[in-house]
């Protein structure tokens, strides 16, 4: 959970909503649409439209804090390997956003 909070705070400047979201799919959908409402993002995309996936990833990571795994922890008494398997969908979503940023860094 601490790593999710660190990533979220790192990209906090992009966060336009303070209410936590617990659904990764909703966060990704929100990220895809919120960029069009952000003047700075619109300006960047007008100049370099191919940066959209990276901006979406940054916005999504800003929203993916501990709230995305809280429901899993609340419903389960699992620990260790079993808990890792239970939070795998959420962690995969986070890793996918990091991968989107790394593609640019290594291009």
Structural domain spans, the chain: 2-106
What's the pLDDT at 53? 94
Strands (E), the chain: none
CA 65/CA 60 separation, integer angstroms: 10
Number of Cβ atoms within 10 Å of the Cβ of 35: 21
pLDDT band at 107 (very low <50, low <70, confident <90, very high): low
Average pLDDT, the chain: 87
Task: Give the pTM.
Answer: 0.84
3-state secondary structure of 6: helix
Interval 60-70: pLDDT, tens = 999 998 888 88
């Amino acid at each position: 959970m601490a790593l999710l909070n660190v990533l979220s705070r790192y990209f906090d400047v992009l966060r336009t909503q303070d209410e936590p979201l617990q659904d990764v799919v909703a966060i990704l959908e929100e990220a895809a649409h919120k960029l069009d409402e952000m003047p700075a993002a619109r300006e960047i995309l007008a100049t370099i439209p191919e940066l959209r996936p990276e901006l979406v990833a940054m916005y999504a990571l800003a929203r993916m804090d501990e709230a995305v795994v809280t429901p899993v922890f609340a419903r389960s008494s699992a620990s260790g390997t079993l808990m890792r398997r239970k939070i795998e969908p959420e962690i995969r979503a986070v890793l996918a956003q990091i991968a989107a940023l790394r593609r640019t860094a290594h291009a």
